[in-house]
C-alpha cells in the first residue's frame, strides 16, 4: 500500500480532516502530536461523548488506527453471534452504543466474517481429512481381507481339481470352480495425497459410509457437530444438507463444501451395489 494513502478518519464528519499513512497528518493545515503521545493519554474512542466532542478532537485525535477496547469487542462479538449480518439500523445503534463510527462497525463485521470464514475452511478441511483417513484405513483392511479370500478361493479350486483328477467325489453336488475376480473390490485412487484430493475442489470425488449415507466422522471435535454450529450462531444438524454458497449467491457462512452430503449409490457394471458412495 502506498505510504500516502488515507486512513479512515473517525472524526472526519466533525473536523473535515485527513490523516496519512506515513504519519503526516493534515488537520486544518497543522501537524498533530505523535501516536505514542496520544495513546498514553486515552484509549481509542472511550465514549460516545468523547467521540462527538469537537473540542476534544480539535486538541487531540487519533493519528493512526487504534485497537478497540475489550468492552467494545465484547459487545461486537455478542452482536455478531446473534447475527453475522449487519442491517443499517443495528449498525447505527451499535455505533452509538460503542462510541464508534457506523463505518467502523461495518468494517469490524466485515473483518469478523472473513476471520470466521477462514476458521470454517480450516475446520472443514480437518473434517474431510479425518474422514478420508478413516476411509483409507477401512479400504486397506477390506483390500487385505479381499486378498485373503482370493488366496482361499485359489487353494480351494486347486483342491477341487486334484480331487476331480483322482476320481474321488468331493460331495454329492457337482461344484464348479469359482472365478477369483468375483470377489474383486473396486480400485480407488488412494495413492494420491489427501491434501491434493481435498484441494481439488469439485474435480474429485470422495467416499462416505454406506450405513450412514454421510461422511464418516470419527472426530468428536467435528465442526459439523450441532454444538459447534450452535456456538457459531448457526443451526445445522448433523446430516443436514449444507447450503451451497452458489445456491443463493450469498455467503451465509454455513460451509464451503457444497453438496458434500448428497450421497449417491455407485453401481458396478454388473448391477451390484458396492459398499462405497460417491458424492456429486
Partner DNA sequence: TTGTGTTTTATTGCCTCC
Partner DNA sequence: GGAGGCAATAAAACACAA
Q: Which is nearer to DNA, 81 or 152 (CB)?
A: 81
Residues 63-82 touching DNA, rule: CB under 7 A, are 64-68, 73
Q: Which three cell numbers stand for residue 94?
A: 451499535
CB of 38 to DNA, least distance (A): 8
What is the grid cell recorded at 89? 439500523
The verdict on 1 binding DNA (CB under 7 A) reads yes
23 binds DNA (CB under 7 A): yes
Q: Which is closer to DNA, CB of 106 or CB of 278?
A: 106
Which of 5, 41, 78, 174 is the binder for DNA (CB under 7 A)?
Answer: 5
Binding-site string for DNA from residue 78 to residue 117, where x marks contact by CB under 7 A and - marks none: -------xx-x--------------xx-xxxxxx-xxx-x
The residue written with cell numbers 459398499 in the block is: 275
Q: Counting Cβ atoms within 10 Å, is residue 150 exposed (0-12), middle (13-18) or buried (19+)?
A: middle
Least CB distance to DNA at residue 18 (A)? 9
Q: Per CB under 7 A, which of residues 115..134 are in contact with DNA?
A: 115, 117
Should residue 26 be labelled a site residue for DNA when binding is judged by CB under 7 A?
no
Which ranges constitute the DSSP H helices of the chain? 12-15, 35-41, 48-51, 54-59, 70-82, 88-98, 102-165, 194-199, 226-231, 245-248
Q: Which is nearer to DNA, 49 or 246 (CB)?
A: 246
CA-closest candidate to residue 52, choices 112, 1, 12: 12
* Partners of 279 in the β-ladder: 263
Query: What distance in Å separates the CA atoms of residue 165 and residue 162, rounded to the nearest whole number?
Result: 5
Closest to DNA by CB, 171 vs 202, is 202
Kindly tell me which residue out of 10, 123, 124, 128 binds DNA, with binding defined by CB under 7 A. 10
- At 148, list the grid cell: 485373503
d(CA 222, CA 225): 5
Residues interacting with DNA, by CB under 7 A?
1-3, 5-10, 21-23, 35, 39, 64-68, 73, 85-86, 88, 103-104, 106-111, 113-115, 117, 249, 251
Amino acid at each position: 500500500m502506498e505510504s500516502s494513502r488515507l486512513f479512515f478518519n473517525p472524526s472526519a464528519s466533525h473536523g473535515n480532516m485527513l490523516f496519512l499513512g506515513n504519519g503526516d497528518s493534515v488537520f486544518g493545515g497543522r501537524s498533530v502530536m505523535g501516536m505514542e503521545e496520544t495513546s498514553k493519554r486515552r484509549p481509542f474512542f472511550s465514549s460516545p461523548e468523547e467521540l462527538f466532542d469537537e473540542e476534544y478532537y480539535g486538541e487531540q485525535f487519533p493519528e493512526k488506527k487504534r485497537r478497540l477496547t475489550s468492552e467494545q469487542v465484547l459487545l461486537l462479538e455478542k452482536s455478531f453471534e446473534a447475527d453475522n449480518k449487519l442491517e443499517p439500523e443495528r449498525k447505527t445503534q451499535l455505533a452509538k452504543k460503542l462510541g464508534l463510527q457506523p463505518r467502523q462497525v461495518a468494517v469490524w463485521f466485515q473483518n469478523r466474517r472473513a476471520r470466521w470464514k477462514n476458521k470454517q475452511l480450516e475446520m472443514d478441511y480437518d473434517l474431510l481429512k479425518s474422514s478420508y483417513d478413516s476411509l483409507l484405513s477401512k479400504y486397506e483392511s477390506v483390500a487385505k481381507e479381499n486378498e485373503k479370500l482370493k488366496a482361499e478361493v485359489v487353494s480351494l479350486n486347486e483342491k477341487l481339481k486334484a480331487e476331480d483328477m483322482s476320481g474321488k467325489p468331493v460331495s454329492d453336488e457337482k461344484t464348479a470352480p469359482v472365478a477369483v475376480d468375483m470377489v474383486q473390490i473396486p480400485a480407488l485412487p488412494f495413492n494420491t495425497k489427501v491434501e491434493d484430493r481435498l484441494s481439488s475442489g469439485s474435480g474429485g470425488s470422495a467416499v462416505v459410509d454406506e450405513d450412514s449415507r454421510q461422511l464418516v466422522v470419527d472426530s468428536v471435535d467435528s465442526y459439523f457437530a450441532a454444538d459447534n454450529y450452535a456456538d457459531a450462531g448457526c443451526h445445522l444438524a448433523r446430516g443436514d444438507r449444507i447450503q451451497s454458497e452458489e445456491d443463493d449467491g450469498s455467503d451465509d457462512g454455513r460451509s464451503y463444501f457444497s453438496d458434500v452430503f448428497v450421497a449417491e449409490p455407485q453401481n458396478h457394471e454388473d448391477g451390484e451395489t458396492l459398499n462405497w458412495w460417491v458424492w456429486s
